[in-house]
């Protein structure tokens, strides 16, 4: 049985936004009541369109931000709430949750050599490691992610996008984390490079028994990588379940629409596309009732007044009054 | 005669380190009512070749072509005035970033009417009517109110609809869409692609779709041209291309799609697209090709026959197996 590394219960993150001098303030519910678990060696994919709270979730899980309510339990340690841990303990725990960002051009400091970039996390978090050990670790890591030792002294601009993403992965792995948050790790890469990075991630997961929180909007990549999938819409989880269940038999109308809107590289496939009207509503002013009701073709009076909570079968819950 | 006929188009950029060939001998033919997709990775010259047609490249670019005509007009030799009369009227273009290709200082109504004013002999009130009609055509609700809005007041999907409205304002014969949906979400992408295809069917214009997304290609195009490092490596009808790719690059690219994968590890293409200083001798794809031999590494291949998808390869593939010797 694999150890549960992340246990999130009803995680919420709300932001107060000022509406100007006379406007008072309003609340953006970037993330509402997200609950999920992630085991070692598994991949949980978070899917949704822009503004659905995917990245907020990443920031909360990596402890960059603290949730406004709810509980986050990492490796059995409760991070927030009553029995909260000391800042020192938190700092230690932080090392075990690392993140890889979307844009490998923006996330590496152009003025540092690759060696320096890789050593920095160790320098900060494990100051007692000797210089030679640190350098050795960085060189070992370079070969682990498929780069050559001579890349140690080079600068980020000398690398292509795919190689930079390898460096970003290497940096995230320097502190031997157990959880890796991958925030759109391949969406800035070309197709031929994308498969190299996905393969690298699969290999590393098998080797190091890493848990991945894989954030992506590309459903074909998610289908390939994920064990479990969580679909989000406007800050809420609308459906979650194993990859086979969600892709094979989607229950929420939004999931179904998302799947049908994703282009499939097969020209002989006959299209049965669900046409979604309109766009994602503003999170500042979400619709009453179910957030998806203005775009949903199955919406009835109840959907417009009452918000459905996520419920249903244990393995494949859905937040909809009329699940498919 | 094709609507757009370009033979052996090359574009070179003068850089501090000498000439860089971004587009290398590309042929494009588009007939009335065609939907052609140009596919390639970044740096394959797909945008630059279309910008060259439109005359939108900076002065550092040197454009050469044996032949470059649109609707009987020679684009290579025509004057700037003649070109301006065509561009935006008979040929128009949609760009990738809808938010940044609209001018933030003017209302979208002004920007749409400007396109009409430049090309059509309409009065002020007729232009306003036409602008309303256009926004209705691209599916924006409340067109009169939207015309008074500024780009920042609209979402990305709405801005792209406005861009499309501007592009089709003068009923073009050819619409070039350069990655029209890359910056948009999937559900919005589906709406925009559907809109483009509907417009194409209704008006009978030709559509050139530049993209890197094989899924978009499969669902929209009739014909596909695959580019690699500035060269066209293959051109086929869409079904044929996905069923039987003749160039090893196309074949490898299709195999690398996660949805076609049969195992957890994807078949990947080693290495990277060659840049300015590491262009290989011989076939440009040879360092990354699984089937390359010494011939590939020394001499640059010619395009194969029409049946073999014009594959620019010494040993075009037939059902994934290279044909050796007899080609």
The ranges assigned to domains in chain A are 4-15+27-318
Q: What is the pLDDT of residues B199-235, one digit of tens each?
A: 999 999 999 999 988 989 999 999 999 999 999 999 9
Q: Answer yes or no: is pLDDT of B246 > 90.
A: yes
Q: Of the candidates A257, A268, A271, which has its C-beta nearest B187's C-beta?
A: A257
Q: Note the pLDDT of residue A81.
A: 61
* Contact partners, residue B158, CB within 8 Å, separation at least 6: A279, B140, B146
Average pLDDT over residues A241-253: 92
Q: Answer yes or no: is pLDDT of A131 > 70.
A: yes
Average pLDDT over residues B78-101: 88
Nearest chain B residue to A281, by CA? B155
Model confidence at B327, in pLDDT bands (50, 70, 90)?
very low
> Which residues in chain B have their CB less than 8 angstroms from residue A219's CB?
186
Model confidence at A44, in pLDDT bands (50, 70, 90)?
very high
Q: Answer yes or no: is pLDDT of B326 > 60.
A: no
Q: Answer yes or no: is pLDDT of B240 > 90.
A: yes
Q: Answer yes or no: is pLDDT of B319 > 60.
A: yes
> Which residues in chain A have their CB less than 8 angstroms from residue B191's CB?
275-276
Q: Answer yes or no: is pLDDT of B194 > 80.
A: yes
Choice between B62 and A278, residue whose per-residue pLDDT is larger: B62
Label residue A169 exposed, middle or buried (CB < 10 Å: 0-12, 13-18, 19+).
Answer: buried
What average pLDDT is seen over chain B?
90
The interface predicted TM-score of the complex, written ipTM, equals 0.83
Cβ–Cβ below 8 Å for A190 and B191: no
Average pLDDT over residues A135-146: 92
> Which residues in chain B have their CB less than 8 angstroms from residue A163's CB?
272
**Interface contact B226, partner A, CB < 8 A:** no
Choice between B33 and A20, residue whose per-residue pLDDT is larger: B33
Q: What is the pLDDT of residues B168-182, one digit of tens each?
A: 999 999 999 998 888
Q: Answer yes or no: is pLDDT of A146 > 70.
A: yes
Please determine, looking at this structure, whether the domain spanning A4-15+27-318 carries the CATH number 3.40.50.970. no
Q: Which letter, b or e, does each residue of A276-307 get, where b requires 16 or more Cβ atoms within 10 Å of its Cβ?
A: beebbbebeebbebbbbbbbbeebeeebeeeb
Model confidence at A192, in pLDDT bands (50, 70, 90)?
confident
């Amino acid at each position: 049985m694999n150890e549960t590394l992340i246990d999130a219960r009803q995680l919420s993150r709300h932001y107060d936004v000022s509406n100007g001098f006379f406007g008072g303030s309003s609340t953006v519910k970037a993330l509402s009541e997200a609950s999920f678990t992630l085991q070692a060696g598994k991949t949980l994919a978070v899917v949704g369109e822009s503004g659905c709270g995917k990245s907020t979730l990443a920031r909360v899980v990596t402890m960059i931000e603290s949730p406004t309510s709810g509980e986050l339990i990492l490796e059995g340690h409760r991070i927030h709430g009553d029995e909260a841990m000391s800042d020192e303990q938190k700092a230690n725990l932080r090392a075990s949750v690392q993140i890889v960002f979307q844009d490998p051009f923006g996330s590496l400091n152009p003025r540092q050599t690759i060696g320096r970039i890789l050593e920095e996390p160790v320098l900060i978090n494990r100051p007692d490691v000797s210089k030679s050990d640190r350098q050795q670790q960085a060189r070992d890591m370079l070969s682990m992610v498929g780069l050559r030792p001579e890349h140690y002294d080079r600068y980020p601009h000398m690398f292509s996008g795919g190689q930079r993403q390898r460096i970003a992965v290497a940096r995230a792995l320097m502190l031997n984390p157990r959880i890796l948050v991958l925030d759109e790790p391949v969406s800035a890469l070309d197709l031929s490079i994308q498969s190299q990075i996905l393969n690298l991630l699969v290999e590393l997961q098998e080797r190091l028994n890493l848990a991945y929180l894989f954030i992506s909007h590309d459903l074909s990549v998610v289908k390939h990588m994920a064990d479990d999938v969580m679909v989000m819409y406007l800050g809420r989880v609308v459906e979650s379940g194993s990859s086979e269940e969600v892709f094979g038999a989607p229950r929420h109308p939004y999931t179904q629409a998302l799947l049908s809107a994703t282009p499939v590289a097969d020209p002989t496939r006959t299209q049965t596309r669900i046409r979604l009207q309109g766009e994602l509503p503003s999170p500042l002013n979400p619709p009453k009732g179910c957030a998806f009701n203005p775009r949903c073709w199955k919406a009835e009076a109840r959907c417009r007044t009452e918000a459905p909570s996520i419920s249903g079968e244990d393995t494949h819950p859905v937040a909809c009054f009329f699940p498919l | 005669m094709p609507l757009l006929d370009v033979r052996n188009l090359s574009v070179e950029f003068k850089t501090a380190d000498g000439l860089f060939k971004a587009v290398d001998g590309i042929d494009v033919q588009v007939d009335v009512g065609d939907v052609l997709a140009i596919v390639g990775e970044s740096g394959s010259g797909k945008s630059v070749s279309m910008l060259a047609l439109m005359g939108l490249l900076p002065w550092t670019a040197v454009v050469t072509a044996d032949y470059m005509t649109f609707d009987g007009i020679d684009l290579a030799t025509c004057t700037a005035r003649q070109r301006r009369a065509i561009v935006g009227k008979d040929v128009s273009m949609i760009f990738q970033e809808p938010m940044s290709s609209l001018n933030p200082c003017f209302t979208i109504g002004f920007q749409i009417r400007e396109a009409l004013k430049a090309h059509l002999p309409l009065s002020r009130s007729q232009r306003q009517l036409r602008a309303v009609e256009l926004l209705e055509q691209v599916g924006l609700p409340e067109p009169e109110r939207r015309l008074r809005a500024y780009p920042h007041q609209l979402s990305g999907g709405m801005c792209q609809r406005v861009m499309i409205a501007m592009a089709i304002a003068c009923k073009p014969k050819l619409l070039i869409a350069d990655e029209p949906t890359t910056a948009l979400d999937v559900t919005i992408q589906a709406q925009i692609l559907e809109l483009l295809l509907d417009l194409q069917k209704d008006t009978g214009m030709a559509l050139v779709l530049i993209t890197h997304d094989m899924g978009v290609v499969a669902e929209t195009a009739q014909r596909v041209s695959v580019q690699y490092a500035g060269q066209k490596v293959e051109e086929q009808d869409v079904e044929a291309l996905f069923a039987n790719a003749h160039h090893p690059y196309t074949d490898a690219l299709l195999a690398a799609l996660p949805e076609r994968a049969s195992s957890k590890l994807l078949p990947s293409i080693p290495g990277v697209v060659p840049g300015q200083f590491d262009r290989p001798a011989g076939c440009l794809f040879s360092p990354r090709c699984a089937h390359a031999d010494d011939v590939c590494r020394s001499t640059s291949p010619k395009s194969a026959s029409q049946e073999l998808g014009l594959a620019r390869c010494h040993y075009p593939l037939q059902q994934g197996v290279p044909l050796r010797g007899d080609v």
